[in-house]
Amino acid sequence: MVLFIDADACPVRAEALKVADRHRMTVHVVGNQPIPVPHGDPRIQRVVVPATPDAADDWIAEHIETGDICVTNDIPLAARCLEKGAKAIAPTGKPFTDDSIGMALAMRDLMRDLRESGSVSGGPASFSGKDRSRFLQSMEEAVQAVKRGK
């Protein structure tokens, strides 16, 4: 079980690393710039990819395997992880599932179209302490599910 963190704009890196440490997981912190990671822990690997669109997503999708976990807010990347038998969790704690990913992709496309047409402005709600707490719970549940083989 390996943890992949889509790290460039991830507000829960520290929390994900704590859960990974508790479970002695290998972690790949992936971004297009050097992301600070704790020194001295050989299980934590910083992966710097080119600053091109989707380079981090492509690296994660190429390396993730069944039973791994990805922390990402990127819905298409979450879909790619699910296709490979991995779990995907948003920083808000929302788990992406086979049942929910189709609707999430459709809503992403709809909202993009509405923003482009000027019908909707603004972005997602601000990240909150409740989101952080929900993430920690979802992350622990995902680890336990993988350990149980689900």
- In this structure, the strands spanning 26-31 and 69-71 are unpaired
Total domain count, the chain = 1
Q: Decide which of 26 and 129 is more confident.
A: 26
Pick from 98, 75, 97, 73: nearest CA to 5:
73
User: What is the tens place of the pLDDT at every residue in 4-20?
Assistant: 999 988 999 999 999 99
Q: Domain span at residue 12? A: 2-147
Mean pLDDT of 23-52: 94
User: Distance (Å, rounded) from C-alpha 89 to C-alpha 84?
Assistant: 15
User: What is the tens place of the pLDDT at every residue in 59-101?
Assistant: 999 999 999 999 999 999 999 999 999 999 999 999 999 888 7
pTM: 0.86
At 109 the pLDDT is: 65
